[in-house]
């Protein structure tokens, strides 16, 4: 593996906010060994829904959902709450064409008519809930967004647990494996790649939660509800591990990763520029 590739992979690992899991290896067996080292931890499958997708507008967490399991997948607890809209968010939502209004429509916020508590209370309770389990590790689909939005919005307690980005497992191991198998004529892999399709100007294989779930035959009808996304993430993870374990002696061809690394590094640079701009405008809270 070239030095430049290792450097880029380590930078990507930092971008993902992952404390322990390494993505600078092309050996599936190395990844599985790392995952197996988590056997004594409590797996917390975690997702958030928000009032938007960037920090350049009013933003709050509207839903937090999580399922706690042991490393074998046995459920030992769950957390699922929607937060009351803060005044500035409620005001922004009055405009049906606003980004806030559209985000709330996508995550079906209004469909839940149950009593909703204040956002900060829910955030604090969630941190306490996570820390009530022995050796928690957070498994998230797209770790950077959920961890950053939580720790930026929360005024009191922060999430400090080890994280494992299930999306990066898909992008850096599972999807490249399917590409290699498809080149050898594997019918199932060809079908999976056809369902995933491509996305973005970089023409990369699609890796959104809903697309990956669909390609694996997992129900994605509850996408964009945090609890539904948590269930999908758990199902995707376990199905991907089956494939990776079956082909654990395979080395991922780094050519299948180059486009992904380039796209992520481009996003990182753009994200950094946006942060600096928003800090100057006073719209971004530094952690």
SS3 69: strand
Is 220 within 8 Å of 230 (Cβ atoms)?
A: no
Reported as type and span, the H/E element at residue 165 is strand 162-165
Q: Residue 172 carries which DSSP code?
A: I
Of 59, 228, 83, 225, the closest CA to residue 148 belongs to: 59
pLDDT at 154: 93
SS3 115: coil
Partners of 67 in the beta sheet? 45, 78
Q: What are phi and psi of 82, to 5 degrees?
A: -110, 140
Residue 139: half-sphere exposure toward Cβ, Cα within 13 Å: 27
Give the integer Cα–Cα distance in Å for 217 and 223.
Answer: 14
Per-residue pLDDT of the chain (287 residues; tens, 9 = 90+): 333 333 444 444 454 444 444 567 889 999 999 999 999 999 999 999 999 876 656 689 999 999 999 988 999 999 999 999 999 999 989 999 888 999 999 988 888 888 899 999 999 999 999 999 999 999 999 998 899 899 989 998 999 989 999 999 999 999 999 999 999 999 999 999 999 999 766 789 999 999 999 999 999 988 889 999 999 999 999 999 999 999 999 999 988 888 787 777 776 666 666 656 555 655 444 33
Helices (H), the chain: 3-15, 28-36, 87-92, 99-106, 119-131, 143-153, 166-169, 175-183, 187-196, 209-215, 226-246, 255-281
pLDDT at 167: 95
Q: What is the pTM of this model?
A: 0.85
Sign of the torsion angle spanned by Cα atoms 5, 10, 13, 14: negative
The total of other beta-carbon atoms located within 10 Å of residue 167's CB is 20
The total of other beta-carbon atoms located within 10 Å of residue 278's CB is 16
pLDDT at 20: 41
Give the integer Cα–Cα distance in Å for 276 and 271.
Answer: 9
pLDDT at 276: 63
Partners of 46 in the beta sheet? 66
């Amino acid at each position: 593996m070239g030095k430049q590739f290792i450097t880029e992979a380590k930078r990507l690992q930092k971008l993902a906010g992952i404390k322990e899991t390494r993505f600078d290896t092309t050996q599936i067996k190395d990844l599985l060994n790392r995952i197996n080292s988590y056997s004594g931890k409590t797996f917390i499958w975690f997702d958030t829904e928000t009032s938007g997708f960037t920090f350049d507008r009013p933003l709050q967490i509207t839903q937090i959902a999580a399922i706690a399991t042991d490393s074998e997948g046995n459920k030992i607890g769950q957390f699922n709450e929607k937060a009351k809209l803060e005044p500035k968010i409620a005001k922004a939502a009055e405009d049906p064409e606003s980004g806030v209004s559209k985000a709330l429509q996508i995550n079906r916020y209004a469909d839940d008519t149950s009593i909703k508590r204040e956002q900060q209370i829910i955030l604090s309770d969630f941190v306490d809930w996570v820390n009530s389990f022995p050796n928690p590790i957070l498994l998230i689909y797209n770790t950077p967004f959920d961890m950053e939005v939580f720790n930026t919005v929360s005024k009191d307690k922060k999430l400090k647990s080890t994280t494992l980005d299930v999306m990066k497992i898909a992008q850096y191991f599972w999807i490249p494996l399917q590409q290699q198998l498809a080149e050898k004529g594997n019918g199932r892999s060809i079908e999976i790649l056809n369902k995933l399709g491509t996305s973005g100007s970089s023409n990369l294989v699609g890796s959104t939660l809903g697309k990956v779930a669909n390609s694996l035959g997992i129900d994605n009808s509850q996408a964009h509800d945090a609890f539904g996304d948590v269930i999908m993430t758990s199902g995707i993870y376990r199905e991907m591990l089956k494939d990776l374990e079956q082909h654990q002696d395979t080395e991922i061809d780094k050519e299948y990763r180059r486009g992904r690394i380039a796209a992520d590094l481009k996003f990182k640079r753009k994200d950094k520029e946006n942060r600096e701009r928003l800090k100057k405008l006073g719209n971004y809270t530094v952690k």
